[in-house]
Every structure is written in structure tokens, then in C-alpha cells.
Structure 1
Amino acid sequence: MIIKAEQKDIPIIQNLAKKSWAFAYADILEQDQIDYMLNMMYSEEALKKHFENPNYHYYLVFENDEFLGFVGFEFHQESETTKLHRIYFLKEAQGKGLGKKALKFVIDEAKNVNDKRVTLTVNKNNSAHKFYESQGFKVYKEAVLNIGNGYVMDDYLMEFVINQ
């Protein structure tokens, strides 16, 4: 089940991020970079700003009364574009079809606000890009993004074009 997160759910999002990142990035990034990025992207202050933005939404994914993942996305981040900023699941959630359901949910939400595409960025070394391709996303650009503190992300920028 997918439910809308509220500001009171920030600790749940932070906990899911920490646990899922340990699984998702262990073989890709050094622990120092993971810690830096978690602190930068999931601090209470950063998450509160997202909740204050009327176009930014978080949803929690749970099954059997257990939170297994979350999505964070922003409508109209660019013209007619919804940006999927975050989609993470715990290791034990892998293979249950929850990622597909969550992606479909985000695409449907983007359709509901008349956005024409959904974009995301994914580390080139993250096998998740193959999952996104299997769900109809295509690489439209590559980018090396300076994220501060001497760290960069070498990413694919991917998009899903919505057929109205």
C-alpha cells in the first residue's frame, strides 16, 4: 500500500533512507560520501523544506504493517515535468514488485497534474538504471554533478514520456 507522508513522518523517511542507502550504495560509493549525502538530503531541515513546497510529495510504501520504502517527487519541476527525486526500498522489499507499483503511482500522479514526462537521475554504476529501462525510462543525458565537499555523482538522466 502507498500512503501520503506528512511532516510527522520525517523520522520514518530518514530511517528508511539510511537503511536503503546502505544496501543501494554500498558497492558504489564510499561510506564517507554516503554519510555526507544522507546528512545533506535527509536532514530534518531539508525534509521540512520539501514538505513546505506544495509541489513536492512524499509517499510511504508498506506491506504487512511494515514500512518498506518511500518515494519523493516534485510536480512541475521543469515545464510539464515531474521529477522523481527519491525512490528507495529496504533490501527485504526487493523482488516484491513494489518498485514497479511505486513508479506507476508516480507516473499516474504526474498524469493527474498534466505533466508530460517523469525524470530521474541514477548513478551510472547503480544497477537500478536497468530496472528503470525495463519500466520504459530512457537515458536522455549524462551528467557529472558536483554535490559539494569534493564529491561528484556520475549519473544518467532518464525520462519517461507520458502518453496522454
Structure 2
Amino acid sequence: MKLVKATEKYIPLIQNLARRSWEKAYAEILSAEQMEYMLSEMYSEKEIMTHFQNPDYHYYLIQDENNNSYEGFMGFELNYEEKTAKLHRIYLVPESKGKGFGKNALQFLNTFVSENENRRIILNVNKYNDARNFYKSQGYKVYDEGVFDIGGGFVMDDYLMEFLIHI
């Protein structure tokens, strides 16, 4: 596995990977209408461009070096809160799950965050998304929960999780 720093030229690939992963991850959790709304809002070219304009926001593509294929991506923001990074998104296409890509990406994130003097990583995960078990297996703990109005008559019902960087 290799992590490739993404730039604006990768926006169509990020959008494609998001759609492929979401269609499987959220099929039983979200309505088709909510999924389409969220994809169009969160992964529009305009929205992703605002991330690239923020020097603290980073996108990395997860590449399978054996197949020279992109298997997913992650987007995170340093200094989201004091000494705290936020993992906004990490997704793998369905056929890549269980191969260690997610675990290796989170290990990279831990190192990157630590090297940039952040001491905590936070994320939101849908309460019904099996990914919460993956995060728990990687040392993340639930510290709160929330229901967030995202517009369009939709909400996100999430656990808030954190990982503390040990120095």
C-alpha cells in the first residue's frame, strides 16, 4: 500500500471512490435520497476545492501498489481544534476492505498528526455504520454522540470518537 498526496487534479477520482464506497457502506443505513444529497453536497467539486485551499486540510489516496489501483482515500484536517486533528473522511471501495489498507492509513494518520504537534484525532461515524467497530479495534473511543442537521430535511446520527496520540 502507498499513500499518494492528492491535489485538485484528483477530484474526479475522489468523487468516484466516494460514490463506490458509499453505495455499499450506506445502502442499509441511508435512504437513496439522503445518500445522493450528501454525496452531491460533500463531494461537489466546489466543496472539495475549499478543502484544497485550506493548508491544514489534507487528502491522501490509498493505492494498492500490487495492482497500481486506487482503493480509497482519506481527508483530514490538522488543528481542527486545539492540538486536535479531525478525520473527516476515510473510505475504501468494497472489494478492498479487510486487506489492511484502512489500518495502514490510520497508522500513517497517527504519525502525520503527531509530527504536526496535534495530540488527538476526532471523527464522526454513523451510529449504524459497521466502521465504528473498525475504529474501536484501532484504539478509538466514543466520547459523545450527536444528531446534526445537514440540510435538505436530513440529519446525521453519529457517534463522536477520539484517538489520543501517545508521545
TM-score where L is the length of structure 2 = 0.97
- Equivalent residues in 2 for 1:123-138 (5 A)? 123-138=126-141
Spell out structure 1 runs of 4+ moving beyond 2 A: none
Cross-structure match for 1:26: 27
* Aligned-partner residue type, residue 3 of structure 2: I
Cross-structure match for 1:49: 50
Deviation at 1:107, TM superposition (A): 1.1
Cross-structure match for 1:112: 115
- Equivalent residues in 2 for 1:138-153 (5 A)? 138-153=141-156
- Is 2:162 the counterpart of 1:159? yes
- Over the matched positions of the two proteins, sequence identity in percent amounts to 53
Residue of 84, 90, 100 corresponding to 1:87: 90
Residue deviations 1:70-96 (CA, integer Å, cap 9, x gap): 000000000000000000000110110
Q: Extract unaligned runs of 5+ from structure 1.
A: none
Cross-structure match for 2:8: 7
Q: Distance in 2 between matches of 1:108 and 1:33?
A: 34
* Aligned-partner residue type, residue 145 of structure 1: F
* Aligned-partner residue type, residue 102 of structure 2: G
Q: Extract unaligned runs of 5+ from structure 2.
A: none
Q: Distance in 2 between matches of 1:44 and 1:134?
A: 33
Q: Distance in 1 between matches of 2:57 and 2:4?
A: 15
Deviation at 1:62, TM superposition (A): 1.0
| Cα-Cα RMSD | 0.5
TM-score where L is the length of structure 1 = 0.99
What is the aligned length? 164
